[in-house]
Structure 1
Amino acid sequence: MGYVVNGEELEGDDENFLLEANFSDDVCPVIAAAEGIKELTDLHWQVIRFMRERYQEDGHTPNFRNMVAMLTDEDDSVDWKKTLYELFPNQPNRQASKVAGLPKPYGKGGY
């Protein structure tokens, strides 16, 4: 399986995570639509940028607990625990990683 973005086929695994990270913003709406997310809001993009930065700096994405803590450190005006589930209802850490165009998080429970 995979996705077609601007005429280019991107290879995905059995859970539709990209096999190779893709940092093009054109990828996100395509994957989001496949995930049932109709529109990417500013908050979605904030989380996408955060996940991409963590992946680029750390080589992986944070688990959910660390994700909430780090996002709160960046912007404490948002209840991130609640908001992440509203933005990415199917396991926020995994779904946010997928929509951001990143490979599947590793480890127990997908992180």
Structure 2
Amino acid sequence: MSYVVAGNEIETDDEGYLLEPDFGEEIVAVVAAAEGIELTPKHWEIVNYMRDEYRENGHTPNFRNMLKGINEFWPEADSKALYDLFPVGPAKQAAKVAGLPQPKGKGGY
């Protein structure tokens, strides 16, 4: 599987996660469309959070730590709100849409 962004083919693993991170905005739109997600400003907040966590830690957080981190800028966020944005599973699907490699183990640290 792969995605095409601006005429360039970007390689993925078998589940559609990028092999190397891509922090461009275009990849987010392409992956979100492939996942059936219509991007909103809240999606972008989560995408940027996941990218920041990846840059700082080299991987993305598991769901529990993700929710805790997101509550710092979106205090009313809960599990349902995140599943409404990323219905397949917020920690993994948000990482995929953010253009990041597949989370390790149970979704990161």
Q: What secondary structure, in the 3-state scheme, does the structure 2 residue paired with 1:70 have? A: helix
C-alpha contact (below 8 Å) 2:63/2:107 kept by paired residues: no
For residue 20 of structure 2, what is the aligned residue in structure 1? 20
Q: What is the rounded CA distance, in whole Å, between the counterparts of 1:25 and 1:80 in structure 2?
A: 26
The letter for the 1-side match of 2:15 is: E
For residue 83 of structure 2, what is the aligned residue in structure 1? 85
Unaligned stretches of 5+ in structure 1? none
C-alpha contact (below 8 Å) 1:2/1:10 kept by paired residues: yes
Unaligned stretches of 5+ in structure 2? none
The letter for the 2-side match of 1:105 is: P
RMSD (CA atoms): 1.0
User: What are the equivalent positions in structure 2 for 1:68-79 lying under 5 Å apart?
Assistant: 68-76=67-75, 78-79=76-77
Q: What is the rounded CA distance, in whole Å, between the counterparts of 1:49 and 1:36 in structure 2?
A: 19
C-alpha contact (below 8 Å) 2:31/2:97 kept by paired residues: yes
Of the candidates 70, 85, 94, which is equivalent to residue 92 of structure 2? 94
C-alpha contact (below 8 Å) 1:71/1:80 kept by paired residues: no
Give aligned pairs, total. 108
Identity %: 53
Task: Write the deviation string for residues 65-109 of structure 1: whole angstroms up to 9, x where unpaired.
Answer: 000011112221x323211100000011100000000000001x3
